[in-house]
Chains A and B, each alone.
Chain A
Amino acid sequence: MPHDFQGSMERNVERIEITISSRFENIELVQVIAEHLCENAGVDEDGSHWIGMAVREAVANAIKHGNKLDIRKKVSAVFELAGHDLEITIQDEGAGFDPEKVSDPLNPQNLMKTSGRGIFYMKTFMDRIAWSFNPGGGTSLVMTKNLEKASGMASTNA
């Protein structure tokens, strides 16, 4: 498969991986990587900020809801940038959840709730998000974003 191999090399894939223990103060480490990766790829400050915000929310959920704040459990983040396509995978060691049961924070009944906006942020700031659940435990969240569309304010990307 020499041809395919050469093709993937030409795409110039950037891959960054970080693993953190389940402490809220570690969230920013992962957020900063996301923001710098985007800025280095030519995304403006606002666009990088909103992607960093989606990553922050994903890691916060992994620590709080996935790993239940157990500092012995890890959260890993993998960033893969191929051309303009950014794929971010956030993995925890939790039992998973049913995405269908996550309530819509824009529903007037939920507007004044104090929680439940994290996934909405991820959906708003990224192109696509999807979860997979390992039967043996552990949740993987994959978020993708085409960085050519990543500039500007959040409402124009939503």
Chain B
Amino acid sequence: MKATSHSVEGVEVIKLDGKITIGAGDQQLRDVISNAINAGKNKILLDMGGVSTIDSSGIGELVGSFTTVTNRGGKLKLLHLPAKLNELLHVTQLITVFEVYENEKDAIASY
């Protein structure tokens, strides 16, 4: 998994590309979030548009990231959900937990 980030109006937009799976991207996602939090950034928008595969460990890490950011008084939201990830969030009922946006402008304005 590759992560690239840029800041827009105080919101850290982190674009994730590739796989978030057990033993690989899951640990990377944890590190990316913890680095952002440690740098004082607690408004985080994860751009999931480039995520090709996510397994139950990846979904678990997404939930863990949400909890970490929320516990620090911040907000973690999702942008550009691929169809299969959207489907997985529905079957796991986690779609009720995450705020999901289809375009970056709307997402930034929501913080």
| Partner-B contacts on A (CB < 8 A) | 24-25, 27, 46, 49, 53, 56-57, 60, 64, 105-106, 111-118, 120-121, 124, 153-155, 158
Contacts and interface: CB of A to CB of B under 8 A. Distances in A.
B22 interface: yes
A117 B64 contact: no
Contact of B22 (A27, A114, A121, A155): A27
The 3 closest A-B CB pairs, nearest first, are A24-B23, A117-B56, A114-B60
A117 B63 CA distance: 12
A112 B67 contact: yes
A56 B63 contact: no
B4 interface: no
10 contacts: A60-B55, A64-B22, A105-B92, A106-B92, A116-B60, A117-B59, A118-B55, A120-B92, A154-B91, A155-B90
Classify the interface of chain B: helix, strand, loop or mixed. Answer: helix
A64 B56 CA distance: 13
A34 to B, nearest CB: 13
Interface string B1-35: 00000000000000000000111100000000000
A1 B6 CA distance: 70
A113 B62 CA distance: 10
Given A24-B23, A27-B22, A117-B60, A106 B55 contact: no
Nearest to A125: B91
Contacts of A158: 91
A111 B93 contact: yes
B88 interface: yes
A62 to B, nearest CB: 12
Residue from A53, A56, A117, A154 whose CB has the most chain B CB atoms within 10 Å: A117
Contacts of A153: 83, 87
Given A114-B61, A118-B56, A154 B67 contact: no
Residue from B21, B56, B67 whose CB has the most chain A CB atoms within 10 Å: B56
A153 B85 CA distance: 11
Contacts of B67: 112, 114
Given A49-B84, A121-B56, A113 B91 contact: no
A114 B64 contact: yes
A46 B60 CA distance: 22
Residue from A49, A64, A114 whose CB has the most chain B CB atoms within 10 Å: A114
Nearest to A157: B91
Contact of B97 (A49, A111, A124, A154): A111
